[in-house]
Amino acid sequence: MYELDGNIRIVFPPPWRWPSRVGLPLWLGIFIFGLVAIARGLPGALANTTSTEIVSVITSLLFFLSLWLTLGALGLYRFLFNAAGRELVVIDTARLTLRREMPLFTRVRTYQLSDIRNLRVRWSVLPFWVDRWVANSRYAFDLLGLTGGVIAFDYRGRKVRVGGGIDDTEAQQLVARIVRRFPSLGTTNE
């Protein structure tokens, strides 16, 4: 966390950066191998079918191919973010901006500071390494939005979470520093 021109800038690295850098080429290899296997098996599958079975074979093959491509793309997105991405939070006097940056994709969400309430740490009961890896991977189910993390706040009736690459103690210190700078974020004004 650092302050620049009165703005607070916080960079959260994703958890498990090194294993993701190793896993990304492996995932790509398995994904490409599967596509090649499907392409090589297609002529043989179509040659050994009768004309009445061809519709069911093509339907099954298209279903499997679409499933393979979907899971491959989601896995690639996840590995790419963990290997080379980051989450950036910028708080100025009017808004809080969340940027999720990674190669090929960047997602930006802006929240008005006047509508943010109850900035807090979302405590977990599991140890950090277990919580991050197994039970609530912070980014595991966050493929399309910015919802994973240990820091939470309420915004217009919904809960937003950030800070997936830090543990609970770091989050508590960070929230305390932010609330000192922007006291309105730490109170619940209903």
pLDDT at 97: 93
The predicted-structure confidence for 42-82, as pLDDT tens digits, reads as follows 887 778 788 788 888 888 888 988 998 888 888 787 778 77
Percent of the chain with pLDDT over 90: 12
Largest CA distance in the chain: 73
Residue 21 has pLDDT above 60, yes or no: yes
pTM: 0.68
CB atoms within 10 A of CB 174: 21
Residue 91 has pLDDT above 80, yes or no: yes
**Structure tokens that stand for 71 in this block:** 């899971």
For residue 89, what is the DSSP state? E
